[in-house]
């Protein structure tokens, strides 16, 4: 279910790294709920976010530790200030900055509370839609986002 979704969404992460993302013994995952402009919110495991920083939203890249990271924007385009989340890649060259409106909500989820939605997903940046209670979220397809950014 969600473990498979997260595993596939994160691409080639090996089993040991996945253990850090999902604590199997407790059945919990720490995640961010990220508001996305004109989309359902994104559900992103906290363990793949390396850093968060305030940033203007009209930048071409984010400078982080002497790297110029490409941007994947989910913020409201009229907003001038936002937060950049540095997202880990399999390799340093695959890191990117996700720019959102504000620091996302942090939540600890019981994996059994998350239900995968059936059906085809048309947006290549979306791996899977899931529901938590009555609320709908999407799990990003990080591999496709990296490809779109030319990483």
What pTM did the predictor assign? 0.80
pLDDT at 27: 80
Dist CA 48 CA 89 (whole Å) = 8
- The residues near 101 (Cβ < 8 Å, ≥ 6 apart) are 35, 37, 75, 76, 79, 82, 83
Cα torsion angle, 40, 38, 89, 105, sign:
negative
Number of Cβ atoms within 10 Å of the Cβ of 133: 8
Query: Model confidence over 15-58: pLDDT tens digits?
Result: 445 444 544 556 888 999 999 999 999 999 999 999 999 999 99
pLDDT at 25: 52
Query: Model confidence over 90-120: pLDDT tens digits?
Result: 888 899 999 999 999 999 988 888 898 988 8
pLDDT at 18: 47
pLDDT at 32: 96
pLDDT at 1: 47
pLDDT at 9: 46
Query: Model confidence over 50-60: pLDDT tens digits?
Result: 999 999 999 99
Query: Model confidence over 63-100: pLDDT tens digits?
Result: 999 999 999 999 999 999 999 999 998 888 899 999 99
């Amino acid at each position: 279910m969600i473990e498979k979704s997260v595993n596939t969404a994160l691409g080639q992460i090996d089993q040991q790294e996945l253990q850090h993302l999902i604590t199997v013994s407790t059945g919990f995952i720490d995640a961010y709920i990220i508001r996305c402009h004109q989309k359902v919110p994104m559900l992103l495991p906290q363990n793949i976010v390396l850093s968060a920083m305030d940033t203007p939203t009209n930048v071409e890249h984010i400078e982080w530790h002497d790297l110029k990271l490409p941007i994947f924007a989910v913020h409201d385009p009229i907003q001038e200030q936002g937060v950049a989340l540095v997202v880990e890649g399999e390799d340093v060259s695959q890191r990117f900055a996700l720019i959102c409106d504000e620091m996302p909500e942090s939540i600890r989820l019981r994996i059994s509370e998350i239900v995968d939605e059936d059906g085809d997903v048309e947006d290549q940046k979306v791996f899977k839609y899931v529901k938590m209670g009555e609320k709908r979220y999407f799990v990003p397809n990080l591999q496709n986002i990296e490809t779109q950014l030319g990483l």
